[in-house]
Amino acid sequence: MQPLWLCWALWVLPLTSPVAALTEEQILGSLLQQLQLSEVPVLDKGDVEQLVTPAHVGAQYVALLQRSHGAHSRGKRFSQNFREVAGRLLASEASRHLLVFGLEQRLPPDRELVGAALRLFQEPVPRAALRRHERLSPRSPRARVTVEWLHVRDDGSNRTALIDSRLVSVHESGWQAFDVTEAVSFWRQLSRPRQPLLLQVSVQSEPPGPRASGAHRLVRFAAQGPAGGARGEPQLELHSLDLREYGAQGDCDPEVPVTEGTRCCRQEMYIDLQGMKWAENWVLEPPGFLAYECVGTCPQPPEPLTSKWPFLGPRQCIASETTSLPMIVILQEGGRPRPQVVSLPNMRVQKCSCASDGAPVPRKLEP
């Protein structure tokens, strides 16, 4: 059986290291990139002093400024704990299962999801059926198991999203684990009240087509264990952390100095654009801005939890939500200076969080 952490690693995206204080070089580099310039334009100070910003440029700048306070870019999130939830088998066919899990009371807002695993009990194939299959098809007796997230819209239509897919052998039996972290993430993005989590499990021939071995007919997942007990029921393992114990504390206390023991928090940091030589004749607005920075340390989970996800690094204080910074700059057009609005992404920290390097960034659920 393939280790669960390896399955989940395929979904993990590379992430940057904890955010350091914003530097002058980063601001300048982002501005040049957004304007597609290789260097700071040379502007005459006299022309700049006499320049009047048109009303529509000012209105565009104000609109972007207001929008930036409501549009946050999310970074990585991480948490970890163990829970089991018994699933209910709604429908079962030879090659398809539909499972339902009630999660509304099991993932409260003060817990952060790090991973979820669907565990299915694969029944052993009777020896007579296995020998008969091997006589008819000498191909490798494997089948592809695919897990999809199913969402029933308000208008009655369905949509699905591929969550996990891998090969299993008919010679295997016992528990099989599939990574369904993204399915639970999609479920959490739904508006309340949420429907139960629906997972569709399909067993397909491998390779597909008329020349398939037919091994998929031998792969069956039980609703009960081999002895008739409940240990064969589909299970959903949820891994999360209590944010009250392992999360950041919000904004730093301005009256308390930051030390090595300070818990992760957002600290004020003012960027003075007027004091930067390259910006004095180029940037009209703003004269400066509050960028903030994430400082402090994060509590680490106990060893039994960290050993389950060995590819994740230590939890660190990072910027989990940022906003853009609109600017009014001056560009040369036809030999004359012209004000222009530009928006620099990820310039201001809105929220600091504790996260492990390597934690996944969930896909945004499309409407």
Q: The domain containing residue 23 runs over which residues? A: 17-77+247-356
pLDDT at 159: 85
> Above 70 in pLDDT, residue 17?
no
Q: How far apart are CA 176 and CA 156, in angstroms?
A: 32
Overall number of domains in the chain: 2
- 104 and 165 part of one domain: yes
3-state secondary structure string across 281-347: CCEEECCEEECCEEECECCCCCHHHHCCCCCCCCEEEEEEEEEEEEEEEEEEECCEEEEEEEEEEEE
Q: What is the DSSP string of 149-202?
A: EEEE-TTS-EEEEEEEEEEEETT--EEEEEE-HHHHHHHHHSPSSPPPEEEEEE
Region 258-276: what's the mean pLDDT?
A: 90
Q: Which of 140-149, 264-273, 358-367 has the lowest mean pLDDT?
A: 358-367
Residue 4 lies in a domain: no
Q: Which of 111-115, 129-133, 175-179 has the lowest mean pLDDT?
A: 129-133
| Enclosing H/E stretch for 238 | strand 235-242
Q: How far apart are CA 242 and CA 248, in angstroms?
A: 11
Residue 6 lies in a domain: no
Q: 326, 314, 324, 302: which is closest to 358 by C-alpha?
A: 314
pLDDT at 293: 92
**pTM above 0.85?**
no
pLDDT at 40: 87
| Domain boundary, last residue among 201, 233, 265 | 233
φ, ψ of residue 143 in degrees (nearest 5): -135, 155
Percent pLDDT > 90 in the chain is 18
For 251-260, the pLDDT digits (tens) are 999 888 888 8
Residue 5 lies in a domain: no
Q: Which of 44-58, 104-118, 226-240 has the lowest mean pLDDT?
A: 226-240
Residue 167 lies in a domain: yes
Q: Which of 10-14, 65-69, 105-109 has the lowest mean pLDDT?
A: 10-14
> Above 80 in pLDDT, residue 356?
no
Residue 11 lies in a domain: no
Residue 309 lies in a domain: yes
**Average confidence score pLDDT of the chain:** 77
Contact criterion met (CB below 8 Å) for 111 and 188: no
Output the six-digit token pair for 320: 């989990």
Contacts of 141 (CB under 8 A, 6+ apart): 130, 133, 134, 169, 170, 171, 213, 215, 218
| Domain boundary, last residue among 203, 233, 263 | 233
Between β-strands 315-333 and 73-74, what pairing exists: parallel, antiparallel or unpaired? antiparallel
pLDDT at 266: 94
For 51-85, the pLDDT digits (tens) are 778 888 888 888 888 777 655 444 433 333 334 45
| Domain boundary, last residue among 179, 202, 233 | 233
